[in-house]
Amino acid sequence: FWLVVGIRKREPGEPPLENGLIPYVGCALQYGANPLEFLRSREKKHGHIFTCKIAGNFIHFVTDPFSFSSVLRSGRHYDWQKFHYATSAKVFGHSNVDPSESSATEDMHEKFMRAMQGEALEPLVTTMMETLQHTMLQHYTAKATSKDWISEGLYGFCYRLMFESSYLSLFGKELNSKQDPSNARQEAENALILNAIENFKEFDKIFPALVAGIPIHIFKNAHSAREKLAKDLLHDKLKKRDNISEIVSLRMFLNDCITHLNDNDKSKIQLALLWASLANTLPATFWTVFHLLRCPKALKAASDEVHRTLEKASQKPSLDGKLITLSLQHLDDMPVLDSIIKESMRLSSASLNIRVTKENFTLQLDKNDCYKIRKDDIVAFYPQMVHLDPDVYEDPLTFKYDRYIDENLKEKTDFQLNGRKLKYYYLPFGTGKTKCPGRHLAVYEIKEFVSLLIAYFDIELVDKNGKIPPLDQSRAGLGILQPTHDADFKYKLKAQ
């Protein structure tokens, strides 16, 4: 009977179990309504590990951050990528490229992940700085009718400029646009980007539903938006573009090596890369600039740092076509911006870290606390519980721009819980083998965006004492949460 209705009985040695009230669904509705509150209340009731049935899966939530290392150390019991490969195939609509089930190899995946953090990074960061500057100044020129302030929604502004710059930096520009800089070509490129932005928004809106397993065919507009986005990323089209990033050309090469993929599959794997590169970075950029503008001390400290860096790099903003360039070393040496970005992400990140177990085993947590875990169950942590824990971060809901630096502007890494130093106190990019390979790129991109904004413009929020837009909880579990509404800001070109 229990098996028929999908209810499990807790066996001796297993973590406390909640089957939930509804067969199959289990605790999904309560969890989905507010994961943080749900997990906090269950932690209070059951302690630092408990099992919840959610949409047919049995998920063991480990809530004690001192036990995160134990979970990561028990890596041999997990199939790290299984869930990720299957989710990507389901959401983006490509064939599965799980090495254990296809002609792809583990080595290909590793190679790609390494390239994103190694040799491919510097040229991409340099191109991004150039593209961001073109895009930002073009956007300004199109809006500016006088030397007065321009005002618009900050999220819309960050979204538009970061999207366009990332797209062009990753996937290159239309071939021959340099030899033939006619208006027609520029207009075609602008139309491609504007359409891509609209299609991306339409598709991204239903992303949580797709991850939850709802088929895309139910969402007609989002389905068509996904297909259109993928069509622009067909290898044949990409080959006609100029200055494609090494990451994208490597992905094209690896796709061509996987024998069972057709052209459509390949374009959808590129779409997965486009989504991963933007879905978190866009709201993270917004939150960074928003908090910066809302906190005068942060804006002053960041502006001082940007001007110091420009001076060190002998760079000056000008409108005569000479662009600002900053090396990776210059960008690395911006501790105030690092701290502001981290603090903004601490407040807005809500990702769920999961691993699927491939065998029955005993999970040994901190202080030798042992639990039996069954094959095919999921072990998870929800870092927001640490990010917003008042015992780890004093006043956890308040933005403190210098939370992650000491008085000498050195990175602060000493965060404690119950008198013990924590290793895992900041996890918006995930952990272990599934840690985001784009994390360095993301931080460089946001630093470039903020540096350029400060270098070229005077910037202010329209309503300096306005409320902070609430986080859109419908995306909890997926990464950096979006604001539920925009906030207006104004900007004006600095006197040159």
User: Quick check: 351 binds ligand HEM (CB under 6 A)?
Assistant: yes
Burial class of 7 by CB neighbour count within 10 A (0 to 12, 13 to 18, 19+): middle
Closest C-alpha among 353, 354, 352, 355 to residue 79: 355
Interface pattern 30-69 for ligand HEM (x via CB under 6 A):
----------------------------------------
User: Quick check: 344 binds ligand HEM (CB under 6 A)?
Assistant: no
Nearer to ligand HEM, 19 or 384 (CB): 384
- Which of 280, 288, 344, 482 binds ligand HEM (CB under 6 A)? It is 280
Residue 339: CB minimum distance to ligand HEM, A: 15
Applying CB under 6 A, the span of 180-188, 298-306, 318-326, 426-434 interacting with ligand HEM comes to: 426-434
Place of tokens 């302690």: 47
Residue 442: CB minimum distance to ligand HEM, A: 4
Residue 146: CB minimum distance to ligand HEM, A: 35
User: Quick check: 169 binds ligand HEM (CB under 6 A)?
Assistant: no
User: Quick check: 277 binds ligand HEM (CB under 6 A)?
Assistant: yes
Alpha helices in 60-153 (DSSP H): 68-73, 82-92, 106-117, 121-143
Nearer to ligand HEM, 429 or 456 (CB): 429
Asked if residues 330 and 431 have their Cβ atoms less than 8 Å apart, the reply is: no
Residue 307: CB minimum distance to ligand HEM, A: 25
Q: How many of the other CB atoms lie within 10 Å of CB of 457?
A: 18
Q: Which of residues 452-481 bind ligand HEM (CB under 6 A)?
A: 479-480
Closest C-alpha among 104, 48, 352 to residue 208: 352
Q: How many of the other CB atoms lie within 10 Å of CB of 362?
A: 11
Applying CB under 6 A, the span of 21-29, 280-288, 361-369, 482-490 interacting with ligand HEM comes to: 280-288
User: Quick check: 426 binds ligand HEM (CB under 6 A)?
Assistant: no
Applying CB under 6 A, the span of 61-69, 212-220, 262-270, 429-437 interacting with ligand HEM comes to: 429-437
User: Quick check: 172 binds ligand HEM (CB under 6 A)?
Assistant: no
**Residue 436 annotated as binding site:** yes
Q: How far is CA 392 from CA 8, 37, 67, 69, 339, in A?
A: 35, 17, 15, 17, 16
Pairing of strands 49-54, 17-18: parallel
d(CA 46, CA 52): 11
- Which of 8, 40, 84, 205 binds ligand HEM (CB under 6 A)? It is 84
Closest C-alpha among 291, 302, 308 to residue 489: 291
**Residue 280 annotated as binding site:** yes
d(CA 39, CA 352): 12
Return the bridge partners of 372, or none. 362
d(CA 307, CA 453): 12
3-state SS class at 488: strand
- Which of 136, 196, 269, 441 binds ligand HEM (CB under 6 A)? It is 441
**Residue 368 annotated as binding site:** no
Nearer to ligand HEM, 199 or 344 (CB): 344
d(CA 179, CA 470): 47
User: Quick check: 281 binds ligand HEM (CB under 6 A)?
Assistant: yes
Q: How many of the other CB atoms lie within 10 Å of CB of 487?
A: 20
Would you tell me which residues interact with ligand HEM (CB under 6 A)? Answer: 84, 273, 276-277, 280-281, 284, 351, 353, 428-430, 434, 436-438, 441-442, 479-480
Binding residues for substrate: 90, 280
Which residue positions form the known binding site for heme?
436
